[in-house]
Amino acid sequence: MASSHDRKLSDADARIIERFSDALWMERGLSANTLNSYQSDLRHFAMWLDEQAATAMLQAKRDQLLGYLAAGVDAGVRPRTSARRLSALRQFFHWAVREQLIGGDPTAQIEAPRLGRPLPKSLSETEVEALLEAPELETAEGLRDRTMLEVLYATGLRVSELVGLRPDQLSLTQGLVRVIGKGGKERLVPLGDEAVSWIERFIKGARVELLNGRPCNALFPTRRGDGMTRQAFWYRIKKHALTAGIRQTLSPHTLRHAFATHLVNHGADLRVVQLLLGHSSLSTTQIYTHVARERLQALHAEHHPRG
C-alpha cells in the first residue's frame, strides 16, 4: 500500500525513487533504515519541487536544488540535516547520470554545508566544586584523588598527562608544571595557589603513606607503589561524580573541557587557552568560541535595558 507521502508524489517521481532504491539495495546492500532515509529525503525534495515549480525530479536544475536547500535553512533545518539531504540528492543524480536518464548532474557544483564541531560536554562551576569535594580526605587515596582533580581542573591537562606526571616536572615555588604532551612537545602550565597547596599537602602525607618506603617515579602512585593508569583514574572520577550527584555522562576529558570553558567564560583570550591546552592549532581551540558568544548574549540580556 502506498504511504501518504507516495499519494502526494507524481507517478513518475514515485517510480523513479523506487527504481533508484532498488538499484541501491542491489549494488550496495544497504539496510532498510538507510534506504528508507534516502527515500524520505527524495520524496521531500520531489514534493517541494512539485509545489514550487511543477517540475519532475529528473528535470531539476542546480538553481532549484539550491532553492530547496535554502528553504530548509530558512525553516530552521540543522546543517547536519541539510548535509544529509544533499547527500541523498547527490546519490540519486549520480545514479541518474550513470543510467543515462539525464545529461548532467545538477549537484556537481553544490558545496555541502559546513558542519560545526560539537562542543564537548562540560560541567558548571557548581558541579566542578561538588566533584572536587567528593573524595574522602580521611584516606590517603581520597586525598590523592582530591589533589589529582584539583590539578586537572587548574591546568586542563589530559588524563594521560596527569597520571604520567613526575615530581621533577613540578616547580611549586614558581607554581608551574612542565607538561610533556602529544608528540613529546613540552609546555609550561600555571598551577594556581589552590592546586599548589593540595600538592604540598599530598606530598608530605598521603604520598608517603601510599608508597610506604618504596621508590616510585609517579607523582600520584597507587597503594601498590606504582603509577596509576588512565583507566583506573577514570574509574575513580566516575565514582566521585556519583558521590557528588552529577547525573550527566562524563568523559575522561570533562574536567579539561570545564577548565577551557570556564576560562573563556571569564574572559580569557583564546590563544592563551590554546597554549594552556597544548593545541597545535587554534582551530582546535575554536570550539570554545561559541561559549564566549553565549556568555556575552546572556550578559547582554541581563544588563541591557532592552535585553
Q: Of residues 15, 94, 182, 224, which has the active-site annotation?
A: 182
Question: What is the gyration radius of the CA atoms in the chain, in angstroms?
Answer: 28
162-171: long-range contacts (C-beta < 8 A, 24 or more apart)?
162/220, 162/233, 163/218, 163/220, 163/227, 163/228, 163/229, 163/230, 163/233, 164/218, 164/227, 165/218, 165/219, 165/220, 166/217, 166/218, 166/219, 167/203, 167/217, 167/219, 169/219, 170/199, 170/219
The verdict on whether 114 is a catalytic residue reads: no
The verdict on whether 158 is a catalytic residue reads: yes
The verdict on whether 288 is a catalytic residue reads: yes
Number of neighbouring beta carbons within 10 Å of residue 176: 16
Distance CA 109, CA 111 (A): 7
Q: Of residues 19, 230, 253, 295, which has the active-site annotation?
A: 253
Can you state the angle between helices 79-98 and 11-28, rounded to 10 degrees? 90
Q: In sequence order, which residues have a C-beta less than 8 Å from that of residue 38 and are 6 or more positions away?
A: 20, 21, 24, 30, 88, 91, 92
Q: Of residues 38, 68, 153, 288, which has the active-site annotation?
A: 288
Q: Of residues 43, 85, 256, 262, which has the active-site annotation?
A: 256
Q: In the chain, helix, strand, coil percent, each to 5?
A: 60, 5, 35
> Which grid coordinates belong to 111?
558545496
Q: Of residues 158, 207, 236, 262, which has the active-site annotation?
A: 158
Amino acid at 123: L
Active site residues: 158, 182, 253, 256, 279, 288
